């Protein structure tokens, strides 16, 4: 089966070389590997082959033929929490991507829904990072997808996360401000949170407003268990906010105690000492609760997912 992944270049990446962009944006391959894939014709620009040093322009479409490449092992043991003709809610384990992308295609929740449950066109209404466990809401029809997405857009959905962080977290903290790029990080996709008052102008192009309420539930052994209630839904919102506030997520290789562990993770060179500092093999973030209106009946739906064993083990 052909596995072609496409990506459109935006203005901020224009002028970068093909090899340079791929290396910085998609860190699952180091530069020599991307160079080899480009020369083998597995990566093209606007439907044509290209050289590693080809400069990129705004609007260029990159295509990557990932057919036949081995996929990393994942945990496919997702469970069904709710299921009817309009929608499905599943509890995703902490090492399973939602969508195909990068090295992952068959080893995804999307593929599992198709092969295991027979869904022909599953539509994810919310998405979780690969290492984040918990509730994923899936629409089965276009009408259901439109209704559920509208609820998320209008912020009427209540989302509840459990997250374990390093340090002694305050009893309560309300964070509001901008998610922006992190110019000091060696990892291009990393973001940082900047507290700001409402109606404050965006500090940079692409900045996104983010609001999250945090409540401490438990503290001990150098870590805190926190309930996070995000009012907005931004990429890396909870993780980037907590890291910027000085409480990195336990086990998080990107927004944790040392971002160089993310680079070593991509190169498969994490050490025993790294593992000890991380405490757990993945970021300790779990989407444990969702409350929304059923897309057909309009009745309230309240679903929960228990804390997974790896996070529970951190609590002793």
DSSP state of 11: G
Residues in Cβ contact with 226 at an 8 Å cutoff, skipping those fewer than 6 apart:
162, 163, 164, 165, 169, 214, 215, 216, 217, 242, 247
Residue 70: band (very low, low, confident or very high) from pLDDT cuts 50, 70, 90: confident
CA angle 92, 302, 147 (to 5 degrees): 85
Q: Is the pLDDT of residue 189 over 90?
A: no
Residues in Cβ contact with 182 at an 8 Å cutoff, skipping those fewer than 6 apart:
190, 191, 192
Average pLDDT across the chain, whole number = 93
Q: Are 179 and 196 within 8 A, CB to CB?
A: no
Question: What domains sit in the chain, N to C, each tagged with a CATH number?
Answer: 4-65 (3.10.290.10), 162-286 (3.30.2350.10)
**What confidence score (pLDDT) does residue 102 get?**
67
- Cβ neighbours of 3 (radius 10 Å): 15
The residues with which 88 forms a beta bridge, in sequence order, are 83, 138
What DSSP string describes 270-301? --HHHHHHHSSSS--EEEEEEEEE-TTT--EE
Q: What is the pLDDT of residues 71-107, one digit of tens each?
A: 788 999 999 999 999 999 999 999 999 987 667 777 8
What DSSP string describes 96-155? --SS-BTTBSSSSHHHHHHHHS--SS-EESS---TT-EEEEEEESSHHHHHHHHHHHHTT
Helices (H), the chain: 18-25, 31-39, 109-116, 142-153, 237-244, 260-266, 272-278, 309-314
Give the pTM.
0.82
**What confidence score (pLDDT) does residue 282 get?**
96
**What confidence score (pLDDT) does residue 201 get?**
95
């Amino acid at each position: 089966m052909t596995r072609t992944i496409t990506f459109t270049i935006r203005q901020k990446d224009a002028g970068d070389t093909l090899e340079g962009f791929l290396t910085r944006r998609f860190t699952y391959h180091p530069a020599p590997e991307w160079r080899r894939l480009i020369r083998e014709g597995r990566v093209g620009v606007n439907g044509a082959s290209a050289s590693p040093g080809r400069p990129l322009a705004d609007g260029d479409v990159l295509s990557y033929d990932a057919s036949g490449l081995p996929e990393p092992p994942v945990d496919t043991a997702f469970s069904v929490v709710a299921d009817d003709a309009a929608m499905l809610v599943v509890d995703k384990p902490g090492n399973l991507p939602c969508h195909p992308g990068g090295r992952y295609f068959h080893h995804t929740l999307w593929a599992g829904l198709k092969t295991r449950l027979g869904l022909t066109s599953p539509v994810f209404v919310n998405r979780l990072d690969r290492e984040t466990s918990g509730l994923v809401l899936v629409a089965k029809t276009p009408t259901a997808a439109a209704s559920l997405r509208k609820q998320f857009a209008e912020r009427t959905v209540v989302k509840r996360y459990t997250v374990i962080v390093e340090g002694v977290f305050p009893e309560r903290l309300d964070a509001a401000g901008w998610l922006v790029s992190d110019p000091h990080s060696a990892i291009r996709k990393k973001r940082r949170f900047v507290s700001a008052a409402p109606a404050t102008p965006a500090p940079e192009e692409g900045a996104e407003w983010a609001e999250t309420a945090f409540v401490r539930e438990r503290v001990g052994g150098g870590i805190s268990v926190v309930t996070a209630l995000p009012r907005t839904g931004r990429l890396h919102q909870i993780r980037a906010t907590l890291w910027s506030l000085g409480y990195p997520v336990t086990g998080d290789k990107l927004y944790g105690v040392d971002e160089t562990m993310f680079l070593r993770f991509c190169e498969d060179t994490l050490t025993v000492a790294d593992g000890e500092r991380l405490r757990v093999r993945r970021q300790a973030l779990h989407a444990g609760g969702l409350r929304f209106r059923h897309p057909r009946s309009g009745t309230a739906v309240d679903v929960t997912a228990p804390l997974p064993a790896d996070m529970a083990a951190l609590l002793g």
